[in-house]
Every structure is written in C-alpha cells, then in structure tokens.
Structure 1
Amino acid sequence: MELDRIDMEIIRLLRENSRIQWKDIGRMVFLTGQAVAGRIKRLEDAGVIRAYTLQVDEEKLGKPLLALVIVFMKSTNHTAFHCFVRSEPAVTEAFRVSGDGRYSLKVLTSGQTELSEFLDRLLQHGNYRVHLYSFILPAKSCWSIRC
C-alpha cells in the first residue's frame, strides 16, 4: 500500500490522540471528516493501523517498578517459556532478541517483593539479568518538546 503525506499526517495525529474526531483531523489535513474516515478505514483494512491503544500511569495503578529482564534459556524448547510469559500478568511485553540473551521482557510490579517472586518463577526456564528503571519521560507521542 502506498502512503502519501496526508496518510502519514493522519497516522501522526492518531498517535498523539487516538480519540481525535475525524472532522478535527480533516481540518488539519484539509479534508472532510468523511474523507478522513475513508482513509482511516483503508489504513485499517491494509493492516497499517492495527489497534487503538491507551497510555496508563502504571504508578497510579500500583505498579511503579519497571524492570527489563534479559532471559538466557536453559533449553532449546521454548514452548513452555512462551506459555509462562503469556500467563504472567507482570509481563507487559516480550521480545525475541539476538545477541546477549534470547528474550527481553518488560515487567511491571508493585515492588521488589513481587519482582523477586516473578524472577523465582522465571528460573524454571532460564537465567536472567535485570535492569530496573525509573520513570523519566512519558511515551514519545506525549512529548511537548518539538525538535
């Protein structure tokens, strides 16, 4: 699918606010709301727009501790590990990576105790290295600084 500059601008606006009304997008890209709706539908049908998401303040939900966990597998059978990751509510994202480690997990917990309990369960599947993070900047789409 060929995307033009208007499609790219619509995507940029939806990334900033996925609840923006089509008529408001239309004013910004010089189209009618109906024309914007047609373009969005085309982008959805082509799989360019896969979903509309929500940004949540995890700390206010009681999950202030963010850990990125690099997993070093103990075996070549990863099926049980995949099931484990899917069943763990603390795991919000999982990536297969090359280089150092085999998987990278984004883990959100209420604190050190919950993280330690998760890591104990993870040991059944492999060793790990943990990087703890503090909140610095919101998601890039929320930045008010334009470079």
Structure 2
Amino acid sequence: MSVSPNDNVIDDVDQKILEALAENARISLKELAQAAGLSSPSAAERLRRLEERGIIAAFTIGIDPAALGYPLQAIVRVRPLPGQLHVVQRIIQETPQFVECDKVTGDDCFIARLVVRSMPELDTILDKVAEKAETSTSMVKASPVKRRLPPLSRER
C-alpha cells in the first residue's frame, strides 16, 4: 500500500486523540472520547483509522531505567572498522543494555543509548564493541526533553 503525503494529514480531532494518548496510552476509550469531543464509538473509529494509516504504530510504556537498577546512561557514537558494519550492528542488537540505536549518516554509523549499572559494566560492553569499531561515549547527566510528539498542527 503506497502512502501519499496527504494520507498522514491529521485534523484537530485526531490531534486531540494523539495528545491524549501521548499523555497516557492507558486512557479509557470513554476518557479519550471526552478529550476529543466525540462519542465512544466515534473515538474508537478514529483510533482504528489512525492505526490503519500507520500514524499510531504502537501503544507502549515509559520505564525509568534507574528504578530498575540502571542508574547510568550513555550515548555511544559508533564507527565500525572496515568490513565490520553488520558485525557491529549485530553486537548492538544482541546487547540488551543498548536500549536504542539509530543508523545515521556522517562520520559515525550508529548512535546508541546504553543503560548500565556501573562504570565497569559500561567498560565490559564497550570492550566488545571496540574490537570491531571505534566508539565515542558521552554520559547522560539529564534529559531536559523526553521523547515527545512532533508538532501536530499544520502550521509550520
């Protein structure tokens, strides 16, 4: 199915639905309908269409890694050695402490977020990667902007 740019244009009601879900993905259908100014059946239909159009890809939860015993987070820029791109990608995918990873353009091939319990754990993980790639690591002090919705209004 091909998607034209207009397929992903949302109106004010869709915007209210997305904002409510971004605030609380466990919101009841009744509360979602109230937030969007719709009846429950209409809200359910809007929700179904947003999913079909691929605008809503998943309902998920936010977890605090520190509460699970991972007080340290790092951003790791990874530049695989020649011929090692797929090996490095597999190492990142198979290491559960890498909780996010983007393949990017530029000098580095990957930018990843890593959660660890300690600096020795960080060293152990980075040592596995360093056999096949150059890395540059920055420790996260704070996250002033958490993952959020992009601008939803049509105004630019």
TM-score normalized by the length of structure 1: 0.88
Alignment equivalent of 1:129, drawn from 122, 125, 136: 136
Identity %, equivalent residues = 26
Q: How many residues align?
A: 141
Q: 1:132 to 1:17 in 2, by over 3 A?
A: same
Supply the distance in 2 between the matched residues of 1:77 and 1:120 (Cα, whole angstroms): 15
What is the deviation of 1:6? 0.6
Shift of 1:140: 5.5
Q: Distance in 2 between matches of 1:138 and 1:48?
A: 22
4+ residue segments displaced more than 3 Å: 135-138
Q: Bigger CA drift: 120-129 or 96-105? A: 96-105
User: Taking structure 2 as the reference length, what is the TM-score of the superposition?
Assistant: 0.84
Map of 1:58 onto structure 2: 65
Residue correspondence of structure 1 range 36-47 to structure 2 within 5 A: 36-47=43-54
1:1-147 paired onto structure 2 within 5 Å: 1=7, 2-137=9-144, 139=146
Superposition CA RMSD, Å: 1.6
Deviation at 1:137?
A: 4.4
Q: Which residue of 1 aligns with 2:154?
A: none
Unmatched tracts of structure 1, length 5 or more: 142-147
Q: CA deviation at 1:17?
A: 0.3
Moved more, 96-105 or 48-57: 96-105
Partner Cα separation in structure 1 for residue 87 and residue 130 of structure 2? 12
Q: SS where residue 59 of structure 1 aligns?
A: helix
Structure 2: runs of 5+ lacking an equivalent: 1-6, 149-156
